[in-house]
Structure 1
């Protein structure tokens, strides 16, 4: 299938598919004329990429772990032993970012409250 059909089947834009290819996440075949050619396995690869992106992982990390991910019912699971530690480190990174965002939100809330008090006076 061509890139347009893959985009339609996965709900991902052709621009995004080209980005995945640029990042090494998607490796289509090529025709003699240089057109990208995708197979059924690429539909599955795009699905896995989307799941990992939704889990908060960046494309660099996804590039490292994608070959080792396996389907385990509703979720993907790490099929290589060392991936659990890497995924736990990513979760800690996300937890740290959440804490930072809470602090930022708290500061912004204080500024808003101060502004409301000032305008009410």
Structure 2
């Protein structure tokens, strides 16, 4: 299939496909006429990339999954390098969740103080800016 059809089937743009090709994530094959040529396996690679990107993975983080599929594995997460990326991403997410929980707790304390001050008729003091 040509680049336009692949882009349509993958629900992306031809520009994105050319970018992936320049980054080595998508093979750069040409047919006899010089047109880019793709197959169902390329669509499978793109779907893997898209799923991971939707989960918040950076483009370069998708490389081990793509390499795993290219190596003939049934799924992109069947290789040790892919599992290592999953572990790093989970650690990153755990860190973000921890920071968000801290911010949430601070906002909840600020709200409680503001509500208590409002009930007493005093102007609330913002402790988060200090």
Q: TM-score, normalised by structure 2?
A: 0.64
Structure with greater strand share of residues? 1
> What is the 5 A alignment of 1:24-63?
24-63=24-63
Q: Secondary structure at the match of 2:80?
A: coil
Change (3 A) 1:82 1:47: closer
Alignment deviations for residues 6-57 of structure 1 (CA, whole Å, 9 cap, x no partner) = 1111111111111211221111411344321111211111111111111221
Bigger shift: residues 27-36 or 3-12: 27-36
Residue equivalent to 2:79:
80
How many angstroms does 1:96 deviate by?
A: 2.2
Contact kept? 1:56, 1:94, Cα under 8 Å = no
Distance in structure 1 (CA, Å) of the matches to 2:58 and 2:12: 17
Distance in structure 2 (CA, Å) of the matches to 1:103 and 1:23: 38
Higher relative contact order (CA 8 A, sep 6+): 1
Distance in structure 2 (CA, Å) of the matches to 1:9 and 1:48: 13
Q: Which runs of 5+ in 1 are unaligned?
A: none
Residue equivalent to 2:91:
92
Change (3 A) 1:41 1:56: same
Size of the aligned set, in residue pairs, is 111
Change (3 A) 1:24 1:106: farther
Runs of 4+ in 1 over 3 A off after TM superposition: 97-108
Change (3 A) 1:95 1:23: farther
Q: Secondary structure at the match of 1:36?
A: coil
Change (3 A) 1:33 1:88: same
Measured on the aligned residues, the alpha-carbon RMSD in Å equals: 3.0
Higher Cα radius of gyration: 2
Q: TM-score, normalised by structure 1?
A: 0.68
